[in-house]
Structure 1
Amino acid sequence: MTQDYIIEIDNVSMIFNLSSEKIDNIKEYFLKFIKGQLFFERFIALDNISFKVKRGEVFGIVGLNGAGKSTLLKIIAGVLKPTTGKVYVNGSMAPLIELGAGFNFDLTGRENIFLNGAVLGYSRAFMNEKFDDILKFSELEDFIDVPLKNYSSGMIARLAFSIATVVNPDILIVDETLAVGDYKFQEKCKNRIEELLTTTGTTVLLVSHSSNQIEELCDRVLWLEKGKMKMLGNVKDVMNQYNSYY
């Protein structure tokens, strides 16, 4: 892996074994297991994917639901281990993969700032130092001591994005987070991403169903279809083909 690239995906495949029949309880599962009557179907979520991402690049990933986009991001983030292939990542990472991941919904927003910071590897002293910045960016001052279970999805997205971008990560992974919440905050998130790009050279991996977001932010785009690479290239060429195809 050369210094020009911060992420390299080398012949990555991800195969899941799905149960081919409905099992209602644990007892039935163990009985079938003992009798050798458990049957599974192979589901290929990703099929031989290879690409490289340059430092400071905004790299988009598009495709319909079930194309393998989120699975690919989880593999890059280290949440999943690929069935075959290699993943090389050279830098710190702030993943925004699943809305609310790393949060406890019974705790308040304030408590979750420190909890999520610990999940991301930040000390309590560091989170104390950055607390006011997180609160200001999220615009949740009036709700910070309310349990997260009473937050809307947009409020959760605000908090998650504010925590993830309080530092300048080498790699920011964003999976549909910008699609949640009001237009004003979406613009604020896009401005923050552009700031990270221009001031610190952060690399961004962006999954979005919004063609406008991809076209506005990305340099190159990977188009996945049913786990396979359909097209990889500059944003204009790929999105022209993608939009006309669907």
Structure 2
Amino acid sequence: MNTQQMVLQVEEISKSFFIPEMIVNTLRERFITSLFKRKLTLHEHQILKAVSFSVEKGQFLGIIGSNGSGKSTLLKIISGIYVPDQGNIIMKAKLVPFLELGVGFNPELTGRENIFLNGIILGMTRKEVTHLFEKIVEFSELKEFLDLKLKNYSSGMQLRLAFAIAVHVHADIYIFDEVLAVGDLHFQQKCLQVFEEFRRKGVSIILVSHNLEQIKNFCDQVIWLDNGKVRMMGDPEPVVSEYIKAS
């Protein structure tokens, strides 16, 4: 690998969460627990186990795996939301994460106000957001809904607005978690066109998707996460084929 072109290196990342064995949900359960002075014991659940990989400039990396395999946790560690228990993240470029729908939005604000809020959260200045505002609105195709509160938007509308903001933030590497899972076919095609434009510009993408055809069509390399470990990594076709066989 050409280290001069590397934009991200993930080194031996491990992450665990501690889950209480006794689940206390109701006031009655809390009272009984308090009355008998029962202590909650915590069980360590390891989500990621020594995960390592690198991303080069302009590379499209796909991450596949069943629910609970550690994909979302890995993306949050790369994005700086979680801190790993072990290992290192070496970031050599500006990253924009597009993770959970609604993150960086305020449902009580209008679409117009949320463009500024989310743009600033993603690293733009107010001046930059103002300069790009019309392009963001045009891409989202939500002009007539801009002055509605976000809580009145459908999930598809929120996705279109969030994606429109994210792709107008200058970055060298983007993370997309199931971005094509919500939205109509027309919007999905717009997303794919943006991916192609990113490829031409040498922008790197980490894409998590359950749509294996999209992974095969757009990614240069694929990582299969299984129970928190890298089970297989390489060209899309063989990795996806082995994943399907094991499913």
How does the TM-score come out when normalised to structure 2? 0.93
Q: Which residue, 195, 198, 202 being the options, matches 1:196?
A: 198
Give how far 1:24 is off.
3.5
Q: CA deviation digits over 1:45-76, x for unaligned, max 9?
A: 10111111111100000001101001000000
How far apart, CA to CA, are the structure 1 residues paired with 2:178 and 2:109? 24
Per the alignment, residue 143 of structure 1 pairs with 145
SS at match of 2:170: coil
How many positions carry a matched residue from both structures? Answer: 242
| Matched ranges for 1:18-167 at <5 A | 18-24=19-25, 28=30, 37-167=39-169
Instruction: Output the amino acid matched with 1:89.
Output: M
After superposition, what is the alpha-carbon deviation per residue over 1:1-59, rounded to whole angstroms, capped at 9, x for unaligned? Answer: 93221111111100000111112379959x86xx6823111111101111111111000
Which residue matches 2:18?
17
Q: Is the 8 A contact 2:124 2:169 kept in 1?
A: no
Matches within 5 A, 1:158-197: 158-197=160-199
Task: State the TM-score, normalized to the length of structure 1.
Answer: 0.94
Runs of 4+ in 1 over 4 A off after TM superposition: 25-29
Task: Give 1:209 deviation, angstroms.
Answer: 0.4
Confirm or deny: 8 A CA contact 1:168 1:196 kept in the other structure. no
List gaps (5 residues or longer) in structure 2: none
Where 1:179 maps in the other structure, the secondary structure is: coil
Conserved 8 A contact 2:14-2:87: yes
Q: Which runs of 5+ in 1 are unaligned?
A: none
Describe the SS at the equivalent of 2:68. coil
- Tell me which amino acid in the other structure corresponds to 2:134: D
Shift of 1:237: 1.2
SS of 1:9's equivalent in the other structure is strand
Return the offset for 1:168. Answer: 3.3
Contact 1:58–1:219 (8 Å) recurs in 2: yes
